[in-house]
Structure 1
Amino acid sequence: MKTKVMKFGGSSLATAQKIKDVAKILVDKKRDLNNIVCVVSAMGDTTDDLIELSYKISQKPDKREMDRLISTGEMISIALLSMAIGELGVKAISLTGEQAGFRTAGRHGFSKILDVDTTLVEKKLKEGYIVIVAGFQGVNSAGDITTLGRGGSDTSAVALAAKLGCDCEVYTDVYGIYSVDPRIHKSAKKLEHLSYLEAMEMANLGAKVIDPRAVEIAQKYEVQLYIAHNSTKIMGTYIDKENNVEQSIISNLSIQDNILLVDKKLQKDETTAELFSKLAGKDINIDVISQKDIEEDRYITFTSLIDEKDLIMDISDDFHFKENVSKVSLIGNAMRNQPGVAARVFELLNANNVDFYQVSTSEISISYIVDTINTNKVVKLLVKEFDL
Structure 2
Amino acid sequence: MTLAGGNKLISENSIQTEEKVNNIKVLKFGGSSVADFDKIRHIADYLKKRVEQNEKLVVVVSAMGKTTDALLKNVATLSDRPKESALAMLLTTGEQQTIAYLSIILNDLSVESVALTGAQAGIRTEGHHLKSKIQTINTTKLQELFKTKDIIIVAGFQGINHEDELTTLGRGGSDTTAVALAASLQASCEIYSDVTGIFGTDPRVYPETKKMDYVSFEEMMELSSLGAGVLETRCIEIAYNNTTKIYTGKTLSEEKGTWIVPNEQIIERKAVTGIALDEDMNYVTLSYPMHDTKVLTSLYELLEQNQINIDMISQTVNIDGMQLSFTMKNTEQYQIKAIIDQLTASYPALLHEIKDNYAKVSIIGSGMRDMSGVASKVFMSLIEEQIAYYQVSTSEISISLVVDAGNAKQAVQILCEKFNV
TM-score (normalizing by structure 1): 0.96
Give the C-alpha shift of residue 259 in structure 1: 0.3
Letter in 1 for 2:401: Y
Give the C-alpha shift of residue 129 in structure 1: 3.4
User: How many residue pairs were aligned?
Assistant: 388
- Residue 112 in 1 paired to residue 133 in 2? yes
Give the C-alpha shift of residue 278 in structure 1: 2.4
CA displacement, residues 317-358 of structure 1 (integer Å, 9 cap, x when unaligned): 343201132211111110111111111111122222212231
- Of 16, 24, 31, 2:52 maps to 31
Match of 1:169 in 2: 190
SS in 2 for 1:79: helix
Match of 1:372 in 2: 405
Q: What pairs with 1:1-388 in structure 2 (closer than 5 Å)?
A: 1-242=22-263, 243-244=265-266, 247-266=269-288, 268=290, 269-271=292-294, 272-317=296-341, 318-388=351-421
State the alpha-carbon separation in 2 of the partners of residues 6 and 33 from structure 1.
Answer: 15
SS in 1 for 2:189: strand
C-alpha contact (below 8 Å) 1:3/1:33 kept by paired residues = no
State the alpha-carbon separation in 2 of the partners of residues 186 and 260 from structure 1.
Answer: 27
Identity of aligned residues (%): 40
State the alpha-carbon separation in 2 of the partners of residues 149 and 288 from structure 1.
Answer: 23
Unaligned segments of structure 1, at least 5 residues:
none
CA displacement, residues 151-193 of structure 1 (integer Å, 9 cap, x when unaligned): 1100000000111111010011111000111122222101000
State the alpha-carbon separation in 2 of the partners of residues 89 and 165 from structure 1.
Answer: 27
State the alpha-carbon separation in 1 of the partners of residues 91 and 404 from structure 2.
Answer: 33
State the alpha-carbon separation in 1 of the partners of residues 195 and 166 from structure 2.
Answer: 30
Give the C-alpha shift of residue 128 in structure 1: 2.3
State the alpha-carbon separation in 1 of the partners of residues 38 and 253 from structure 2.
Answer: 16
SS in 1 for 2:311: coil
Taking a change above 3 Å as real, the CA distance of residues 327 and 33 of structure 1, as seen in their structure-2 partners, is farther
TM-score (normalizing by structure 2): 0.89
The worse-fitting range, judged by mean Cα deviation, of 193-202 and 54-63 is 54-63
Give the C-alpha shift of residue 296 in structure 1: 4.1
The root-mean-square deviation of aligned C-alpha atoms, in Å, is 1.5
CA displacement, residues 167-222 of structure 1 (integer Å, 9 cap, x when unaligned): 01001111100011112222210100011111111111112221111111011111
Match of 2:14 in 1: none
Give the C-alpha shift of residue 246 in structure 1: 5.2
Letter in 1 for 2:386: N
Give the C-alpha shift of residue 245 in structure 1: 6.6
SS in 2 for 1:300: strand
SS in 2 for 1:288: strand
State the alpha-carbon separation in 2 of the partners of residues 106 and 371 from structure 1.
Answer: 35
The worse-fitting range, judged by mean Cα deviation, of 95-104 and 201-210 is 201-210
C-alpha contact (below 8 Å) 2:51/2:150 kept by paired residues = no
